[in-house]
Amino acid sequence: MATRITTIAFQGIEAVPVDVQVQMTPGTYRFNIVGLPDKAVGESRERVRAALIASGLALPIKHITVNLAPADLPKEGSHYDLPIALGLMAAMGAIPADMLDRFLVLGELALDGRISHVDGVLPAAIAANARDMGIICPAVCGPEAAWAGEDMEIVAIENLFGLVNHLAGRQMAPRPLPIRALPNAPGPDLADIRGQAVARRALEIAAAGGHNFLCACSAADNG
C-alpha cells in the first residue's frame, strides 16, 4: 500500500498540486524517484536518507519507490525533500499516515535534519488554503505562509525531529504570524548595491530630475 503526501509543482507563479506516493516492497535496498524529477529532486534521495538518520530513523532494506504524480508534469526544486521524507516515515509507521491528509507539504532538508528555506511558500499556502488544507513548511517561511489566510493551519518547524513531536502532540509549535513592515523602517539604499554602475547612475539621474523610469529586469540582472 502506498502512502500519499500532497505537495506542489510551480508553473510560473501557479502552484499545481502534486501527489507524492511512497511504496516499500520486499527486496534488496533500492531508492527510486520517478515522475519526471529534475536533478535537484533526484538528489533528494541522499538528503532525505541523511536527515532521517540524523533524526533517529534509518531506511529499511527494501525496494523504495517514490512516484511524483502526475507523471507527465516536470518536477523541479528541492522542496520535495520534506514530503518525500514524511511519506517514507508514514510508510515505516513512524507517523500516522492519515495525520498528513489535511496538509500540503514543502521544504528542503539539510543533512542534519534541519528544514531549510524554499521559495514559493506564499503561492503554495494560497493553493492549500483554496483546497481547505493546512501547510507544513520551514520555520523561516512561516511568516510568509501566514499571509495566505488567518484561519488556515500552518506548521512551521525548524527540524524533522521537531515536526514529528508536533504531529504526535508532544511539543506543539506556535502558529507563525505575518511579518509587517515597521512604519519608520528604512527602505532599500543604493549604497548597498555592489556593481551595476550604469543602472545605478540611471536611477540617480532619474531621481534627481524627477523623471519617470521604466525598468525591465530578469533573474540574471539581480545583484
pLDDT tens digit sequence for 83-114: 999 999 999 999 988 889 999 999 999 999 99
Question: Quick one: average pLDDT of 200-207?
Answer: 84
- Which triple of cell numbers denotes residue 63? 525496494
| Domain limits, the chain | 3-168, 190-216
- Structure confidence at residue 160 (pLDDT): 95
Torsion of CA 47, 49, 52, 57, to 10 degrees: -170
CATH number, domain 3-168: 3.30.230.10
Q: Given this model, what pLDDT does residue 179 score? A: 80
Share of the chain above pLDDT 70, in %: 93
Region 8-17: what's the mean pLDDT? 90
Q: pLDDT averaged over the chain?
A: 90
Q: Could you tell me the pLDDT band of residue 223, with boundaries at 50, 70 and 90?
A: very low
Contact 213, 206 (CB under 8 A): yes
